[in-house]
Amino acid sequence: MSKGRLRTTVSAGLLVLLAGCNQEQSTFAPTGAEAERINVLFWVMTIAGGLILVGVIVLSAVAIRGREALRAPLSGERFIRGAGIAFPAVVLSMLLVYGFVILGAGASAPPSDNGIRFAIRGEQWWWRVTYFDADGNSFESANELHVPVGQPVRLELTTADVIHSFWAPRLAGKLDMIPGRTNILTLTATEEGVSRGQCAEYCGGAHAFMSFHVVAHTSEDFEEWMAKESGPAVKNENERAERGGELFLDAGCGGCHTIRGTAATGAIGPDLTHVGGRRSLAAATLPNSAGAFADWISNNQHIKPENKMPPYNIFTQSQLEDLALYLESLK
């Protein structure tokens, strides 16, 4: 069986176990150069490790029930020196070199040449994402990272509070966000599309609800997205949504949230300028829909316990719907 076919067979076996598994956050379905290299490394090690395990089982079986002639070579110190010292020393040395080659390949990727910088700041329990364009202008977004396909991008990872770990499994391995430090993670998307990531370092209370999406665009689409996303919030003609906008300001939501182009300039919570265009709410906890917005505003401590936003039960049902419509319209 060729190596490729073997891999296909093993992969197929695994797929049975993964049946029903959505591959959005899976290292088995890489869409980034780093994750692809690691996936190959995984399969090489798994197959080699599996063979070694089978070997040990066979040797044990021979030792227990084998015929005298088979057991004799196993029953001395020479066997221990060969199987327990020489064999692992050779295999591990080869593996060490292979590991370093892959590590080196990841580290040597040059930074993107379009002058765009990505800064991601972990906060309990969401991600503040800041984009800097070539001219040094910046704008903020949250819980969603947009990258161009085919270009290595450098992510500047920091934290506002405790240790978090940024992990987009389909693109690359994880890297921690540590107070007082800026860690640089390089990743290269190889396919267009949306994948999901999640905080990997336990960061207290709602650690389980600290996820995000990564959207990989073609270069043209990415530039288009940047242009749109860096602009102010879109004006909405819908009457109810307009009422919602006023309500947003009157209720003091702008104390924590920014909506560029309005009086809301708070910096504590996520920037909501284009929140309606994102794929999720509350760090990939809820789908993005008007209903979810309403649910979140009034019931967020139940949905995502301990999150820093207080639940707002001051609105009437119709006010809540207006507010939700407004937020949903911020594409």
Nearest-angstrom CA–CA distance, 120 and 143: 9
One residue of 6, 21, 227, 314 binding another protein per CB under 8 A: 21
One residue of 32, 37, 188, 293 binding another protein per CB under 8 A: 37
For residue 213, the number of C-alpha atoms closer than 13 Å in the C-beta half-sphere is 22
For residue 253, the number of C-alpha atoms closer than 13 Å in the C-beta half-sphere is 24
Identify the three-state secondary structure at position 248. helix
Asked if 87 is part of the footprint of another protein (rule: CB under 8 A), the reply reads yes
Asked if 178 is part of the footprint of another protein (rule: CB under 8 A), the reply reads yes
Nearest-angstrom CA–CA distance, 31 and 37: 11
C-beta closer to another protein: residue 66 or 254: 66
Asked if 94 is part of the footprint of another protein (rule: CB under 8 A), the reply reads no
Q: Candidates 88-96, 110-118, 239-247, 288-296: pick the segment binding another protein (CB under 8 A).
A: 88-96
Site for another protein in 114-153 (CB under 8 A): 124
Asked if 267 is part of the footprint of another protein (rule: CB under 8 A), the reply reads no
Asked if 47 is part of the footprint of another protein (rule: CB under 8 A), the reply reads no
DSSP structure class, residue 149:
B
Q: Candidates 130-138, 141-149, 204-212, 224-232: pick the segment binding another protein (CB under 8 A).
A: 204-212
One residue of 6, 8, 9, 49 binding another protein per CB under 8 A: 49
Asked if 179 is part of the footprint of another protein (rule: CB under 8 A), the reply reads yes
Asked if 111 is part of the footprint of another protein (rule: CB under 8 A), the reply reads no
Identify the three-state secondary structure at position 27. coil
CA distances from 122 to 10, 39, 171, 208, 269 (A): 37, 26, 18, 14, 12
What are the backbone dihedrals phi and psi of residue 309, each rounded to the nearest 5 degrees, phi first? -90, 125
C-beta closer to another protein: residue 50 or 255: 50
